[in-house]
Chain A
């Protein structure tokens, strides 16, 4: 008689667990095996050994199925990515329009486009990676031109002198916002939110 041909009664109606003839629960026996814990009872108990053997047979088939279904290494995600991005581009979140040039010119740039320029400018500084970029607009009474402020979060290389690095990023962003966009900034707030070890630092050109 084995646990298989003479299945013990489930301890619960939905079969959550069942007791082997030796009195131990099947779930416990399998659990010890899964955790690779030493189980002294197993050596002397025919019922427990059979239960474990059954699981081992299943595991052999599972291993083969796992090998057969390992598509990820070979899977080319380009076509799927294209399909997904085609839909995403119908649902863009461009943010708010921000004024370009002089206040009365009625020329605008969408926030996401401006943020992209800001992040790219920050990342020209070696080892810097840009994260959140918020561009805020404040209208003061009695002043026609709104104040535009950039708040940028970056990850910086731990090895760099942070004061200098922040200054480099600030200059780079200012140059790009003026030179590439033509937007007049009131101020830039740069926050270093993480320091990257040398090992984490992106190599040149790995990202863009």
Chain B
């Protein structure tokens, strides 16, 4: 096996700018799989986090990101670079997640609420206990959203993306994103309020 570029990437860190990406993207598009491995290594953590928020669990998120990045490798020669690589792969992962969410049957929604993407974190036990109920409530409420509402809401509220970015990632207008986020918020406040 050739040397593992996954390891070579470890020193790069995650703060590489989009400008640095462009060189790697060009090289990967020309068939340099090691450049692609660096891109994967750089972007996978944020993509998995986003997908886990979208889908509610890490294993499904990893599958979605894996499928999306393999499809990105296949599509790279046609990538026109009108957007950044980051926006482009976000869009592919988002689409993947939307398909997974759409394919879930209503019963799965409730199951998914139990498998919260909440790994070990550094919050005091007391605070965990206090916040668990509220977060569980929110998780359950999220499963009632449509796939499209959930996707836009997660990108906005959990991922902290701009409406412009979400519009590009989801492939709809900014107005449509705003409308979906609004409807999601309305649905969530109503659900949370109803149980209080």
Contacts and interface: CB of A to CB of B under 8 A. Distances in A.
Interface string A131-156: 11110000000000000000001010
Contacts of A26: 186
Contact of B41 (A67, A77, A134): A77
A69 B158 contact: yes
Nearest to B163: A34
- By CB atoms of chain B within 10 A, which of A60, A72, A73 has the most? A72
Given A72-B45, A80-B65, A93 B70 contact: no
A47 interface: no
Interface stretch (B92-100, B118-126, B166-174): B118-126
Contacts of A94: 31
A194 B19 contact: yes
Contacts of B194: 4
Contacts of B118: 68-69
Given A69-B118, A92-B31, A133-B30, A4 B185 contact: no
Contacts of B32: 112, 115-116, 119
B166 to A, nearest CB: 14
Interface stretch (A37-45, A50-58, A97-105, A166-174): A50-58
Contact of A17 (B49, B70, B116, B182): B182
Contacts of A54: 189, 193
Interface in B60-99: 62, 65-66, 69-70, 73-74, 77
A72 B49 contact: yes
A131 B26 contact: yes
A55 B17 CA distance: 34
Chain B, interface size category, equals 35 or more
A68 B135 contact: yes
B123 A69 contact: no
Interface string A56-89: 0110111011111111111101101111110111
A190 interface: no
B65 A64 contact: no
Interface string B103-143: 00000000000001111110100000001001101110000
Interface in B36-56: 36-37, 40-41, 44-46, 48-49, 52-53
B52 A71 contact: yes
Nearest to A90: B70
Interface stretch (A157-165, A175-183, A200-208): A200-208
Contact of B134 (A64, A78, A81): A64
22 contacts: A30-B185, A57-B192, A58-B185, A58-B189, A58-B192, A61-B131, A65-B139, A68-B118, A70-B49, A71-B45, A71-B119, A74-B119, A81-B9, A82-B6, A85-B33, A88-B33, A91-B73, A91-B74, A92-B33, A131-B26, A131-B27, A206-B12
Interface of B: 4-9, 11-12, 17, 19-20, 22-23, 26-27, 30-34, 36-37, 40-41, 44-46, 48-49, 52-53, 58, 62, 65-66, 69-70, 73-74, 77, 116-121, 123, 131, 134-135, 137-139, 157-158, 178-179, 182-183, 185-186, 188-190, 192-194
